[in-house]
Structure 1
């Protein structure tokens, strides 16, 4: 460990902002709060850190660790206690100074604050709580704050912090208890799940208290995979709320933007089916807003970690994000996408295309008659385009020209739909035929498949550039 005394604030910022880059569970969405007299800032439907929101705005958060010192020795973490790296810690006043000065200069719209474990979970949580309290009460900062809850900390501290923040997250780290025991033996899976459950219960209670109707989770739903016991035990155990600790003067809901978590993939041997089963259980039983998937990077070069000679599994991460999108917005369930006999996603096709090819008996779908949820299952038709179809066909009978104008991706959808009982051109409804059309030439393979293409970060939501053959493309272009 390298310790430097009298470190400047700028140097601390360099170290602790760089250390925070490995935490991908950083969103700023789900809350809409206007500015108020006597305070500074607001929070209006923000998006992902350093990216674009749904309305096209570029959003930035100050993303830092409070400290990169840590008492734990997780094998996959750059900040583990056995690593010889430069260590730094902010004070609560320094975080407040950075946040306010950056906000005044219009550099940021909010704060994302995570941390290593300094001294103990309680000690670290107290420092984080003091930081956020100073921002809200002393500096009157009304902007967006996303904060990490520390597993093992006193529930009263976590409870109090939730009244000051917009979103909270507790990282699950690894998909199963077995893998956590193998690579992070100092951590306990149940200790990680308990604050997630605590935050969920307080959010539900707060909604009921102020009269917001919502579909709250009252009993465990169907859980699959090897993580049944841990999740079921936490969900089914009768848990009482900690003492009501809403600070005086706080006029907002408890964690209004919900909570998220992060799972590292590729560090252990879990299949995609096991990972997605855990995600499904978290969505169904803990009311999470997002599960983030972080491709494992062997930054420590530890012989207890898997070799990554071909780079991080970014394509696998991409497929998991696409499948996660299907769970949250398209009405799919993990058991429809994968099972014990087919435990991993096809890297050559996005999960919805792969599912459609394995269920060709359900296709083609007539776009002028199918309901909204049936349309959502057609490759090339998303949530927005499905709504456009439902609205447009109230006043017209749609054909392929109309579908193109409505934003349907015909190069995929054309194999799975009919308009007025007709396909766009003669198509053989056969799994091998359609697959060959989608993957007919080399440059249509996803990024990272070819050995000459280096790994790169992919879009979370857009499908890769599959195309049909040139003669078919000409027909589409001429409609």
Structure 2
């Protein structure tokens, strides 16, 4: 084996894979068996975080950065003047096993540029996963990036070896896709998504009858959208997300801010990267849709097509809907409690449990852990202290932002004092 050449390939294809952010392993419960290698149970992969806060990693690479398409937003577009490379199937298998044995990784995230055609590329991705499972007895996490246009037969096989499958829809709107990737068809993205969804349902049903039925793609499927490359509003992006969550049972939708990689008149100019804050606001909105019972139309609509940058989407909604507040935390239902700024779902459940035994006061709410600096403007309880009424949305927003800045400066000042104290001790 030419180790220098393998190292060169790894540098090229790992760097090319960094633009894909959809690499969480949440939901997989594959366990080690037959004294094999690895165990993906309860783990997140690729510098993502598990539920207990642990950071874990995976080998994240492309099989190749050769591609037959010329998508304007993609670093591996065929017209881009970059160094090309391709792994052999066995090389990826060997790298995964060697890295795992050295405790560098806990799994594999494998994507690829499309060479020859969709099925040829997908077959090679599956071969890697199949060899790892059957020849190396590897039970760690495997995430395969599905190839647009791959056949139903290959998608079915892929889910038998991978923990998660994902196919990036890339651009939120069909219009944007036609502009930036005219050779691609939205239908080619939808077809494998539909197949994966149906196979997950079918295998789950069969397993209830036949216990030996294998689990198909135990961590489900996900997708990713590029934000800011084609001019869609936040509303258009989140409507697209809601569509895929509802119709294809997505585990996650990821939002990747567009990074200018080369000049193209169809794209934003070089130097106009999408602010990380916009990604953050989209993820917060996504969370509200999935876990807090919000509808897209409540958060984003014709009157409010884009998210506020200075406040989070829940607070923004609350300020636009002051008619629903203040909420009495001792009487409100779960749905309304979840809509109070500064109150998370864990706190909602704690409130519901605690108020069975007593009427809650501000001290009780503080002990539960709600963010009173925001919540106090929207709730009443068994105490009158701090209760505020008859303030406008602008006044409440100003007070919250002022308090947030004060809190930030206080924290920053405390950190400086701590560093100063440590420095003095070291110098002494």
Normalised TM-score (structure 2)? 0.91
CA distance in 1, matches of 2:188, 2:308: 34
Task: Tell me whether 358-367 or 421-430 shows the greater mean CA deviation.
Answer: 421-430
Structure 1 partner of 2:319? 357
State whether residues 203 and 213 of structure 2, in contact with CA within 8 Å, keep that contact through their aligned partners in structure 1: no
Indicate whether 1:137 and 2:134 are aligned: yes
State whether residues 438 and 466 of structure 1, in contact with CA within 8 Å, keep that contact through their aligned partners in structure 2: no
Task: Tell me whether 35-44 or 272-281 shows the greater mean CA deviation.
Answer: 35-44
**Offset at residue 422 of structure 1 (A):** 3.5
CA distance in 2, matches of 1:207, 1:81: 40
Structure 1 partner of 2:361? 399
Deviations 1:148-201 (A, max 9, x none): 110112221111111111100000000111110100111110111111011001
Aligned counterpart in structure 1 of residue 162 of structure 2, from 150, 165, 176: 165
Indicate whether 1:58 and 2:20 are aligned: no
Indicate whether 1:184 and 2:181 are aligned: yes
Q: After superposition, where does 1:38-437 map in structure 2 within 5 Å?
A: 38-47=35-44, 49-211=46-208, 252-307=214-269, 309-420=271-382, 422=384, 424-437=386-399
State whether residues 360 and 429 of structure 1, in contact with CA within 8 Å, keep that contact through their aligned partners in structure 2: no
CA distance in 2, matches of 1:57, 1:136: 25
> What secondary structure does 2:357 align onto?
coil
Q: Structure 2: which 5+ residue stretches go unaligned?
A: 411-428
**Structure 1 residues 7 and 123 mapped into 2: Cα distance closer, same or farther (>3 Å)?**
farther
State whether residues 72 and 186 of structure 1, in contact with CA within 8 Å, keep that contact through their aligned partners in structure 2: yes
**Off by >4 Å, runs of 4+ in structure 1:** 441-444, 464-467
Task: Tell me whether 13-22 or 399-408 shows the greater mean CA deviation.
Answer: 399-408
State whether residues 147 and 169 of structure 1, in contact with CA within 8 Å, keep that contact through their aligned partners in structure 2: yes
Aligned counterpart in structure 2 of residue 17 of structure 1, from 14, 17, 20: 14
Give the RMSD, CA atoms, in angstroms: 2.1
CA distance in 1, matches of 2:75, 2:4: 21
**Offset at residue 388 of structure 1 (A):** 1.4
Deviations 1:241-276 (A, max 9, x none): xxxxxxxxx963111111000000100121111111
CA distance in 1, matches of 2:260, 2:71: 12
**Offset at residue 7 of structure 1 (A):** 6.1
CA distance in 2, matches of 1:35, 1:251: 17
CA distance in 2, matches of 1:156, 1:386: 45
CA distance in 2, matches of 1:388, 1:33: 32
Indicate whether 1:438 and 2:411 are aligned: no
**Structure 1 residues 425 and 200 mapped into 2: Cα distance closer, same or farther (>3 Å)?**
same
CA distance in 2, matches of 1:398, 1:88: 63
The answer to which structure has the higher helix fraction is 2
**Structure 1 residues 15 and 132 mapped into 2: Cα distance closer, same or farther (>3 Å)?**
same
**Offset at residue 205 of structure 1 (A):** 1.1
**Offset at residue 24 of structure 1 (A):** 0.7
CA distance in 2, matches of 1:85, 1:391: 59
**Offset at residue 441 of structure 1 (A):** 7.9
**Offset at residue 42 of structure 1 (A):** 1.0
> What secondary structure does 2:9 align onto?
helix
Normalised TM-score (structure 1)? 0.81
**Structure 1 residues 48 and 387 mapped into 2: Cα distance closer, same or farther (>3 Å)?**
farther
Task: Tell me whether 428-437 or 169-178 shows the greater mean CA deviation.
Answer: 428-437
Structure 1 partner of 2:422? none
**Offset at residue 426 of structure 1 (A):** 3.6
CA distance in 2, matches of 1:377, 1:29: 26
